[in-house]
Amino acid sequence: MALFTKEPEKNVRHDLSVRPQPQPIQAVPVPPPTPEGRVAPPRQASPAPLEARAYLDQGSKVSGKLSFEGPARIDGQVDGEITAKDSVMIGESAVVTAQIKAASIIVAGKVSGDITASQRIEIRPSAKVLGNLTAPVLVVHEGAVFEGHCAMQPEGAREDRKVTVFPKEERMVAQAGGQKQA
């Protein structure tokens, strides 16, 4: 059997009885005509990423608590709270007024509220974020707008952090360069 040669194979029998089956024709729904008698063009599907299991399209508006088990993409409007065990993508057309907690969060739209990620936060150039950010990794692209505070430590590390306060006498010694004042 010659796999990679340009010479045709000898003693090969071609079975012409097997023919490809024709594919059925699928009907495309046509929207009803408008009062003026025109037919509106079919609506294009929004570009939902292949990795997202949950998707809120541009025309959707949600108020309340949203919870996602897998990856999610939001291109609509959300007011309330968003939690996810996986990643959350806030698309360019999204307007979100909510606290967001997830493993990783990518923001390309408008977000008003605190964002907490256990792995990473990325703010794309088209994003406008008004709120506090907490994540071990923070990426802010040039052109993005961010107003708030950020902490790049896990929440547990901040709680375990200890502050040592020296008594007044020891502070004076430290300021004097190690010389004790009487």
Asked whether residue 145 carries a pLDDT value surpassing 90, the answer given is yes
Tens-digit pLDDT profile for residues 65-85: 999 999 999 999 999 999 999
In this structure, how many other beta carbons lie within 10 angstroms of the beta carbon of residue 96? 28
Q: What's the rounded Cα separation, in Å, for the pair 129 and 148?
A: 8
Cβ pair 26, 44 in contact under 8 A: no
Q: What is the mean pLDDT of the segment spanning 135-156? A: 87
pLDDT of residue 156: 55
**Candidate from 45-49, 78-82, 114-118, 139-143 with smallest mean pLDDT:** 45-49
Structural domain boundaries in the chain = 54-153
Give the pair of three-digit tokens for residue 4.
């990679």
Tens-digit pLDDT profile for residues 26-46: 555 556 666 666 655 554 444
